[in-house]
Structure 1
């Protein structure tokens, strides 16, 4: 066919045939594939050059244009090992086989340099040991770091992230047991100053995630986990992680839209940010912002769920249910509940337990089972707000089953891993929530009314042993939990009125899921804490605990709110609510000590007799 004939033929048919369209599409996809291969090869070359010279990271990695694009050595899924039964909740191409760290990765021909943080110095050998310890025992709980990256490169990328890894691993570094205490203040200060760093925000977010998942023991410092969780969320949102497919629009300079791989990585890091932030809210007794309010529209939220790993989706949905349940409980009212409110609360809790059942049908890995158990435990713990229908609603047997199942799961985890020193904060909180629930039931008059108390008691005692495995410092929450659980168990006054009758209501009623834990700890403080007892001298009457130091209870709440204006908590006749309101003084010391996590409410010296066997 001549050129003129070919031109005439084209002119006759302006619409390409189906086969021609398929051919054009095939050419386009092939060219796109080749372009992606070239881009991947370019990143591989830059990664290899950075590994040969770890102190010289490619310039592109530290610029605003590519500060969120961190290359990683890709590994096929077949090479991954989840032998410990833990979910690998981050893209698997970022992870080396679990449980083993090749020596050539950490050592090789380029030895790790010693580093100093103010007065603390760690040698190159210690750094290698700490990084191997982190990737062997901790990373599987929060697998957001690349095991192929050397410590020298981590320090070049972000000194804060480098020291955050050291700080986490120091929890169980037996060769230098003083390292965790020495680093706590300095690394925490680095966390707050990280927002001023010129390092890529990707690394700042990773460092904050580590410190919030394994917080330092507080000792005499203020608890900063809750402020840090808010900072984590806002740093991520400021850099567009909450809209991963459009995050290039948040860059200081014009950059191309992220690739599909980068969108997945941003999506999953954002999912971790939401999880850690919402957990911090729950542990602090606050109602967390849900994922819907953090996304701009439902389509973006669905895109996020479509891109991230299924087990991350399950964890997000669990915390979303807890958040919605918390808001519904607050709307129903918790301060002073009438009979109708208690009945309504029971309906609400059954509704949200049903949502947990729906999520459980989609669970695919073992790690999701713990989050489902914790979600169910959190929802059922709202039953303790009830007073009139606590027994008649039939919730206590279900509470025992859920609490025992959660403790059994943690026991199984300890058996598989040999210890619990690497347990993240969500496991320690779940263990505390379950044990306090069992304690309250076992100390009640209902314990002898057909409940499965034998299993509940065995699980409660198992909690104390698990807390011993979990504690890495004599001043951490796990160590002090041992003391509180021990002494409340042997107490004859806990959850009792002065006449010996049961005190069934929660006196702490403003902290959602945390209220029952705080309530139990305040019972302990009232009896065992010397600091609290000394302040009560001269103000406590023979009739019961001082109203100046402790919320007097639901009965007083009803009197103040007008729902029961004729009786006071001790059974006497009440003329009006005014004087009772005046008796409850919220002083500065009350506000200072009324906190949770990192030992704010456990403000007492550790009992050496109970912590001698701590690892």
Structure 2
């Protein structure tokens, strides 16, 4: 009697990759228990082959090192290399860690993936790619002229470690020939800390911002447009009197990348306007890493604007695309993407749970939800491969825990306040350590200033509450709060930037006896701003500041007063439950404060049209001129 071989049980691709037990064989139409628990995409693919990610990454590093050695030994003549080859292929450019092969020719057995004509910018072929030792030429942008010496000083100073997407070996003249917008984006970002000409940032802000919006009409390769937008969104110009453009620019960045196939590296050739070969493995790594930076910058922009970002699952075209992306890019980028993905998923579930007028059951459900996502942050931390990326884990945890401030009835009983203090203090300590290592923080990107703002506002709200004397570690919290003000001094490069305004608001709220208090002096625990997700507690604190220090600005912006006195505000749809709890319709007095016959502990009743046009965030969160006298009179 013939004995048939035993057929093995099926497992999903995620479990097979991790060598974990899988029970998808019970019913392939239902995700396995492990994928359900971790919110992973559960797919069964018989053709899937497990890859050793660490071994593959090490092999890529060794391959890159061999290319660098070839470059050194070859001693190429820079005049023989066209500028078009300064990036990998087509509309690719190359992340700095994998760029050296761009200078090799076909004689080394590393044939280019795409023909030269598809790489080159429109017009005649510019000067040599690397620029040799030629000094930078003076450049003018309308009425602003930057000398060659200033350009040489400004390029690649202090900023590359936070966003390694440019090649320091390429000279400024070559960057200008490749893309004037990318060239001026580099100059604009670096000018924020250029002490030899402190007026340069202000002079360039309007012109470079206009170039950013017009860059989609450029005939330059999209890779350069993407790099320029990444720079401007990581280090945005101070707003001053201009409209806030970071949020629309982040959407444009994402769509330019998707229009050119960066979100599907293995099929990017299908998005080209001319017929080209499929990308090589190295090209796919480059595209994948640039796409990862695009997703990170876009999602951060959404979070700092109080919006729920699209996650990688919604941006992918197939269920295993995200895992393919994670397998190709550097581990530290994977960690950042996972942190942002956790924040995005948490924001979506908070929205589903409801937060406008929360019942006791909703608050209890929110607490369970937030603990679940804190557990996911713990899982990411266990898989961390780079110690220097700890900040992104701290900011992720801080963002999740900030949702606790939406609670009113269970804020103290849930035991979240001690954890909030620990997370906020750890985040501030990390930034302090970064400042000590680097000597300054003027080059800090927007995610660091936002993290400091979120942590300091959380500490401020706790320290000003009645719970501060109930066994909380207020001594460390207070020291960290004051440290934030000193760190903001190091970060500020302009009197109208976020850091300078942060100093003013934090200082005045700290000495205020009215902040987070009702008219009778009792504590006001509820958030009045409840529609901006993680941003709500920051905006709420700023509203308390405006109530006391700039009431005319609040009344003018809100537009609720008339000649006859304060008018009734419109109650947004869906707030009837909140009115039932409050007991009466609220009204505004001349200072813009809501009054009711019962203490208001729920929704801050304002017109939704006002929130729609509300333009505070990051540099735009404080719409007031900073008081210079406060910058040096701090606790």
Q: TM > 0.5 between the two?
A: yes
Three-state SS of the structure 1 residue aligned to 2:145 is: strand
The structure-2 alpha-carbon separation of the partners of 1:49 and 1:334, relative to structure 1 and needing over 3 Å to count, comes to same
The structure-2 alpha-carbon separation of the partners of 1:101 and 1:531, relative to structure 1 and needing over 3 Å to count, comes to farther
Whole-angstrom CA distance in 1 between matches of 2:383 and 2:395: 16
Instruction: Kindly provide the CA deviation profile for residues 159-212 of structure 1, in whole angstroms up to 9, marking residues without a partner as x.
Output: 000000000100000000000000000000000000000000000000000000
**Larger mean Cα displacement after TM superposition, 62-71 or 517-526:** 62-71
Residue 469 (1) aligns with residue 490 (2): yes
The structure-2 alpha-carbon separation of the partners of 1:50 and 1:251, relative to structure 1 and needing over 3 Å to count, comes to farther
Whole-angstrom CA distance in 2 between matches of 1:521 and 1:419: 27
Whole-angstrom CA distance in 1 between matches of 2:597 and 2:605: 15
Whole-angstrom CA distance in 1 between matches of 2:211 and 2:540: 34
Aligned residues: 591
Residue 571 (1) aligns with residue 605 (2): no
Three-state SS of the structure 1 residue aligned to 2:128 is: helix
Among 296, 303, 319, the residue aligned to 2:340: 319
Whole-angstrom CA distance in 1 between matches of 2:596 and 2:42: 101
Whole-angstrom CA distance in 2 between matches of 1:346 and 1:321: 16
Three-state SS of the structure 2 residue aligned to 1:87 is: coil
1:245 CA displacement? 1.1
The structure-2 alpha-carbon separation of the partners of 1:272 and 1:75, relative to structure 1 and needing over 3 Å to count, comes to closer
Instruction: Kindly provide the CA deviation profile for residues 293-325 of structure 1, in whole angstroms up to 9, marking residues without a partner as x.
Output: 111112221111000000100000000000000
Instruction: Kindly provide the CA deviation profile for residues 26-52 of structure 1, in whole angstroms up to 9, marking residues without a partner as x.
Output: xxxx99999999999999999999999
Ranges in structure 2 where 5+ consecutive residues have no aligned partner: 1-40
1:158 CA displacement? 0.5
* 8 A Cα contact 2:130 2:174, kept in partner: no
* 8 A Cα contact 2:216 2:225, kept in partner: yes
Whole-angstrom CA distance in 1 between matches of 2:109 and 2:501: 29
The structure-2 alpha-carbon separation of the partners of 1:573 and 1:320, relative to structure 1 and needing over 3 Å to count, comes to closer
Three-state SS of the structure 2 residue aligned to 1:10 is: coil
Residue 594 (1) aligns with residue 614 (2): yes
* 8 A Cα contact 2:86 2:103, kept in partner: no
Instruction: Kindly provide the CA deviation profile for residues 120-142 of structure 1, in whole angstroms up to 9, marking residues without a partner as x.
Output: 1111111000xxx5524111000
Equivalent position of 2:164 in the other structure? 143
1:111 CA displacement? 1.9
**Larger mean Cα displacement after TM superposition, 51-60 or 109-118:** 51-60
The structure-2 alpha-carbon separation of the partners of 1:168 and 1:463, relative to structure 1 and needing over 3 Å to count, comes to same
**Larger mean Cα displacement after TM superposition, 521-530 or 100-109:** 100-109
1:262 CA displacement? 0.8
The structure-2 alpha-carbon separation of the partners of 1:206 and 1:577, relative to structure 1 and needing over 3 Å to count, comes to farther
1:595 CA displacement? 2.4
Instruction: Kindly provide the CA deviation profile for residues 382-424 of structure 1, in whole angstroms up to 9, marking residues without a partner as x.
Output: 0000000000000000000000000000000000000100000
Whole-angstrom CA distance in 1 between matches of 2:432 and 2:109: 13
1:95 CA displacement? 21
Three-state SS of the structure 2 residue aligned to 1:146 is: coil
Instruction: Kindly provide the CA deviation profile for residues 204-226 of structure 1, in whole angstroms up to 9, marking residues without a partner as x.
Output: 00000000000000100000000
* 8 A Cα contact 2:454 2:538, kept in partner: yes
Q: What TM-score, normalized by structure 1, do the two folds share?
A: 0.80
Whole-angstrom CA distance in 2 between matches of 1:233 and 1:146: 22
1:366 CA displacement? 2.3
Whole-angstrom CA distance in 2 between matches of 1:259 and 1:155: 28
Whole-angstrom CA distance in 2 between matches of 1:457 and 1:277: 33
**Larger mean Cα displacement after TM superposition, 90-99 or 380-389:** 90-99
Whole-angstrom CA distance in 2 between matches of 1:48 and 1:428: 40
Equivalent position of 2:30 in the other structure? none
Higher helix fraction (1 or 2): 1
Whole-angstrom CA distance in 2 between matches of 1:41 and 1:107: 23
Residue 153 (1) aligns with residue 153 (2): no
The structure-2 alpha-carbon separation of the partners of 1:38 and 1:534, relative to structure 1 and needing over 3 Å to count, comes to closer
* 8 A Cα contact 2:89 2:113, kept in partner: no
The structure-2 alpha-carbon separation of the partners of 1:9 and 1:174, relative to structure 1 and needing over 3 Å to count, comes to closer
1:281 CA displacement? 0.3
The structure-2 alpha-carbon separation of the partners of 1:542 and 1:406, relative to structure 1 and needing over 3 Å to count, comes to farther
After the TM superposition, list the runs of 4 or more consecutive aligned residues in structure 1 that deviate by more than 6 angstroms.
Answer: 7-15, 30-57, 62-65, 71-107, 536-547, 549-556, 560-568, 570-585
Whole-angstrom CA distance in 1 between matches of 2:42 and 2:346: 71
* 8 A Cα contact 1:506 1:553, kept in partner: no
* 8 A Cα contact 1:240 1:247, kept in partner: yes
1:109 CA displacement? 3.9
* 8 A Cα contact 1:275 1:319, kept in partner: yes
1:431 CA displacement? 0.2
**Larger mean Cα displacement after TM superposition, 589-598 or 442-451:** 589-598
* 8 A Cα contact 2:244 2:620, kept in partner: yes
Three-state SS of the structure 1 residue aligned to 2:526 is: coil
Residue 379 (1) aligns with residue 413 (2): no
Whole-angstrom CA distance in 1 between matches of 2:450 and 2:106: 24
* 8 A Cα contact 2:508 2:545, kept in partner: yes
The structure-2 alpha-carbon separation of the partners of 1:511 and 1:78, relative to structure 1 and needing over 3 Å to count, comes to same
1:589 CA displacement? 9.2
The structure-2 alpha-carbon separation of the partners of 1:451 and 1:240, relative to structure 1 and needing over 3 Å to count, comes to same
1:78 CA displacement? 19
Whole-angstrom CA distance in 2 between matches of 1:45 and 1:581: 66
The structure-2 alpha-carbon separation of the partners of 1:165 and 1:614, relative to structure 1 and needing over 3 Å to count, comes to farther
Q: Which has the higher contact order (CA 8 A, sep 6+)?
A: 1
1:521-560 to 2 correspondences below 5 Å:
521-529=542-550, 531-532=552-553, 535=556, 548=569, 557-559=578-580
The structure-2 alpha-carbon separation of the partners of 1:303 and 1:541, relative to structure 1 and needing over 3 Å to count, comes to same
Whole-angstrom CA distance in 1 between matches of 2:83 and 2:623: 48
Q: What TM-score, normalized by structure 2, do the two folds share?
A: 0.77
* 8 A Cα contact 1:506 1:554, kept in partner: no
* 8 A Cα contact 1:75 1:93, kept in partner: no
Whole-angstrom CA distance in 2 between matches of 1:145 and 1:106: 13
The structure-2 alpha-carbon separation of the partners of 1:551 and 1:445, relative to structure 1 and needing over 3 Å to count, comes to farther
Whole-angstrom CA distance in 1 between matches of 2:421 and 2:323: 36
Whole-angstrom CA distance in 2 between matches of 1:31 and 1:86: 22
Three-state SS of the structure 1 residue aligned to 2:565 is: coil
1:68 CA displacement? 1.9
* 8 A Cα contact 2:567 2:588, kept in partner: no
The structure-2 alpha-carbon separation of the partners of 1:319 and 1:203, relative to structure 1 and needing over 3 Å to count, comes to same
Larger Rg: 1
* 8 A Cα contact 1:54 1:152, kept in partner: no
1:449 CA displacement? 0.4
Residue 70 (1) aligns with residue 94 (2): yes
**Larger mean Cα displacement after TM superposition, 550-559 or 213-222:** 550-559
Equivalent position of 2:263 in the other structure? 242
The structure-2 alpha-carbon separation of the partners of 1:563 and 1:448, relative to structure 1 and needing over 3 Å to count, comes to same
Equivalent position of 2:244 in the other structure? 223
